[in-house]
Amino acid sequence: MIQLTQEQIDYTALTESVRSNQVGAVALFLGTVREVTHGRQTDSLDYQAYPEMAQKQLEKVEAETREQWPVEKMGIVHRLGHLDLGEISVAVAVSCPHRHQAFEAARYAIDRLKEVVPIWKKENWSDGTTEWVHPGSAESSSAVPPG
């Protein structure tokens, strides 16, 4: 299941949706809103997507993951809009026959998502300033690395 949502991510339902009697391992990754990045205090984040392309690229991430590991079921959900500290921005759930496959597949999926899926976060810093996060962009010398 691939989903972009404005609602809170129901990671319990997502995890249940990938469980199966055919496998022995389920890995769940959650990305959450961190309070401090390189010494700067975050108040909240705003996520924006290019939805049509994000959906298509997420489907490619799933296909690439399935090519490399024996994935039984997987789901990726990304939250959009305004998120407060501690809220879940992304969830990846994968089931595979064995644990090392599930861990590796989930890691590949989240790493690839962060490279290619057109979603952006804007930092709302506690000092009242805001900043789009664009890793490696020429503009911002203070660019915040992904994560």
Partner 1 sequence: MKVSVKLFARASELAGTNQLELQIPERSTIAGLRAEMLRSCPELSPLMESLHIAVGSEYASDDCYIEPDSEVACFPPVSGG
What residues make contact with partner 1 under the rule CB under 8 A?
Answer: 31, 47-50, 52-54, 56-57, 78, 89-90, 110, 113-122, 132-139, 146-147
Least separation in angstroms between CB 71 and partner 1: 20
What is d(CA 26, CA 131) in angstroms, rounded to the nearest whole number?
Answer: 36
Least separation in angstroms between CB 142 and partner 1: 13
Helix (H) or strand (E) holding 100: helix 99-116
First to last CA, the chain: 23
Question: Residue 18 in contact with residue 94, Cβ under 8 Å?
Answer: yes
Using DSSP, state whether 12 is helix, strand or coil: helix
Least separation in angstroms between CB 120 and partner 1: 4
- Token output for 20: 């199966």
26 vs 49 by CB, closer to partner 1: 49
96 vs 119 by CB, closer to partner 1: 119
28 vs 70 by CB, closer to partner 1: 28
